Amino acid sequence: MKKKVLCFGNPELEDDAICTQLAKELKIKDVQFIYCSKPEEILDHNLTNLYLMDIVHGLEKVSLITDISRLNQAKSVTAHDFDLGFFLLLMESMNHAKGFKIIGLPPGIGKKAAKAEIIKLLTD
């Protein structure tokens, strides 16, 4: 079965654009990379064999996250502050966060290092 990786981030912000860039560049057999501009796009996909890829603050290396509570959640002040982490916690509170995994990239990681680790995670 083909894996899907939904890639999140803001292509306009240098420190948040890596996942959107990797969505265009990575080519792995039986893996489809899809750029998503907003968290609610998750709801358009079957969660089985689904991966979400985004920057996760607090990580030292590329990591596969299956426990949503591991995501660092900054306090939301306005509606514009609702990020992927907040959306996933909301999904979990409604018991809708089952079946997907998160590929977390540490802030500041280079594309070459990220590509190698992502390929390893998705092909093992």
Sole residue written with tokens 């939301």:
76
Higher pLDDT pick, 121 / 98: 121
- Residue 37 is predicted with a pLDDT of 87
Classify residue 45 by burial, with Cβ atoms within 10 Å: 0-12, 13-18, 19+.
middle
| pTM score of the predicted model | 0.82
8 A C-beta contact, residue 54 and residue 84: yes
SS3 20: helix
pLDDT per position as a tens digit, 71-118: 655 443 334 334 776 666 666 666 665 667 889 999 999 999 999 999
The strands making up 100-105's β-sheet, listed across from edge to edge, are 31-35, 3-7, 50-55, 100-105, 63-65
DSSP per-residue letters across 40-76: GGGGGS-STTEEEEEE-TT-SS-EEE--GGGS--PPP
pLDDT at residue number 14: 83
Domain at 3-123: CATH architecture:
3-Layer(aba) Sandwich (3.40)
**Region class of 18: left (phi > 0), else alpha (psi between -120 and 50), else beta:** alpha
Interval 3-31: pLDDT, tens: 999 999 888 888 888 999 998 999 999 99
Q: Model confidence over 42-56: pLDDT tens digits?
A: 888 877 778 999 888
Sorted by where each begins, the domain ranges of the chain are 3-123
C-alpha radius of gyration, the chain, whole number: 14
Q: Taking the CB of residue 20, how many other CB atoms lie within 10 A of it?
A: 22
| Residue 124 pLDDT level (bands cut at 50, 70, 90) | confident
Predicted confidence at residue 27, as pLDDT, reads 93
